[in-house]
Structures are given as C-alpha cells and as structure tokens.
C-alpha cells in the first residue's frame, strides 16, 4: 500500500492533572495517532481509536507513577538530610556537655569490656 492510499488518521489523547500540594499541580499528556487506508471499516476504526486511547492513557499513568516515585525519593533524601543535620547538631551539643565523641566511645567500649 502506498502512502497516498491512506485517507484517514485517528488521533487520541489523554491528559491528567495531579495535585502536588501547596496549590501546585503537574500536567501529564500523551497523544497517539494512526493512519489507515480509506477502505478501513467503521468497526476497525472504532477498535483502532479505543486502542490508541488506551495506549495514551497507559503512557500517562506510567509517567505519573514515575513522577510519584521521583517525588518520594526527593522527600526521602530531604528527610535524611534533615535527620542527619539534626544528629550533627545533637552530637555537637553532646560534645559540649560531656566531652568529645572519642571520649564517649572509649567510655562506652570500656563499659562493655571492649578495647
């Protein structure tokens, strides 16, 4: 079949907006298109259209899942950084109150019977 034999083109798209909090959102969009010959039946066009829509929807849903995974990873990194910073601050105040970290470690090891 030659390129000139195509007479119909079906385009289906899917979009979804996801609330990310603080009055912000992320938009996801996919569009799928297929050309078909002029002899394509209405039933075939309907099936192609449904398939294109489903394909676009699945693409958007997969992108949203990846987006959420990336956001969760960012939150974990931020949380870990805040936690570590908090521990550093606590360790600094502990050192000021009861000597250096090394002294505490030696005392703890001695108490446990370790060198």
For 18, the domain range is: 3-111
pLDDT for 67-109, tens place per residue?
999 988 888 877 666 665 555 555 455 545 545 656 666 666 6
Q: Tell me the angle at which helices 42-98 and 101-111 cross, rounded to the nearest 10 degrees.
A: 90
pLDDT for 73-84, tens place per residue?
888 877 666 665
Q: How many domains does the chain have?
A: 1
Decide: residue 105, CB within 10 A, 0-12 exposed, 13-18 middle, 19+ buried.
Answer: exposed
Q: What is the pTM for the complete model shown?
A: 0.61
84 or 46: which leads in pLDDT: 46
Q: How far apart are CA 115 and CA 106, in angstroms?
A: 8
Q: How far apart are CA 11 and CA 34, in angstroms?
A: 7
């Amino acid at each position: 079949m030659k390129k000139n034999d195509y007479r119909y083109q079906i385009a289906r798209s899917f979009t979804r907006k996801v609330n990310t909090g603080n009055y912000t959102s992320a938009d996801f969009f996919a569009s799928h298109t297929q050309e078909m010959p002029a002899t394509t039946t209405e039933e075939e066009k309907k099936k192609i259209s449904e398939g294109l829509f489903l394909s676009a929807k699945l693409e958007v849903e997969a992108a949203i899942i990846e987006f959420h995974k990336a956001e969760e990873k960012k939150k974990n990194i931020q949380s870990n950084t805040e936690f570590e910073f908090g521990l550093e601050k606590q360790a600094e105040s502990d050192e000021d109150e009861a000597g250096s970290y090394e002294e505490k470690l030696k005392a703890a090891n001695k108490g446990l019977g370790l060198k």
